[in-house]
Amino acid sequence: MFEARFPQRIICLTEEGTEILYAIGEEHRLVGISGFTRRPPKARKEKPKVSNFIDANFDKILELQPDLVVGYSDLQRDIASELIKNGINVFIFNHRSINETLGMILQFSALIGNEKQGKMLVEQYISNLNSAKEFAKSFPYRPRVFFEEWNDPLISSIQWVSELIEICGGELCFPEIADKSLGKDRILDPDLVIERNPDIIIGSWCGKKFKPEKVKARKGWENINAIKNNQLYEIKSEIILQPGPACLTDGIKDIQKIYRSYFQRISNAF
């Protein structure tokens, strides 16, 4: 008997694929995840961990007999190459913008035979984005925002984060590098941040806790409005630096909370 089937044993090398599968009710097909996975919390308890971001346990992956491995970014090319050599079907996404992230959700869902559920999920996230844009219209002005993705060297926000900062009602301090996909192209001289004088500083140091006291101690940064007014905030990297469901849900909410807090503090100061 001949039979055509969509993938039934899926491994996700990054968190966004895992969160999508849970969001569309197909987590039973997920047989392996990244060790960096935090969302949803039960995935970490239920599913075997087979990789970090740039390394993988190939023996464990092969034992799990996946019929599809899904990853993200050119940084996972070596993992993909090794798996392909072993006869595994691999799909690597490389999305950087909000629109590309929405497209990834559609593509991944269609790839596994769940196009309808993917479309419904995308519609929900588009609604979140439109609501955020509408909410921002109530602000008296757009505060200048510096998003710090890494501290040494100093790296500004990747594209989807920059877009969310603007969608939610902020003004980017460094719009000229907002669409640069590589971290090396978003490295900044700390003196430039002083010159741009952000009203808000948001930190999300990928993989480690943001330290506001270290930011405040930088030479000359005491003159920045965000420092003078104590407008330093952290968003956890698994929420904002994951180009998938996290940033389109809780990422938006966290940015909005920061903006509300900013305007409340500023109004109370006068």
List, for residues 117-154, the tens digit of each pLDDT value.
999 999 999 999 999 999 999 999 999 999 999 999 99
pLDDT of residue 179: 94
Section 52-81 average pLDDT: 96
pLDDT of residue 1: 82
Average of per-residue pLDDT values in the chain = 96
pLDDT band at 265 (very low <50, low <70, confident <90, very high): confident
Section 81-86 average pLDDT: 97
pLDDT band at 181 (very low <50, low <70, confident <90, very high): confident
β pairing state of 154-156 and 144-151? antiparallel
Q: Which residue has the tokens 């929405």?
A: 102
Share of the chain above pLDDT 90, in %: 94
Section 204-219 average pLDDT: 93
**pLDDT value at 194 more than 50:** yes
**pLDDT value at 24 more than 90:** yes
- Residue 128: Cβ-neighbour burial (10 angstroms; 0-12, 13-18, 19+): middle
pLDDT of residue 270: 40
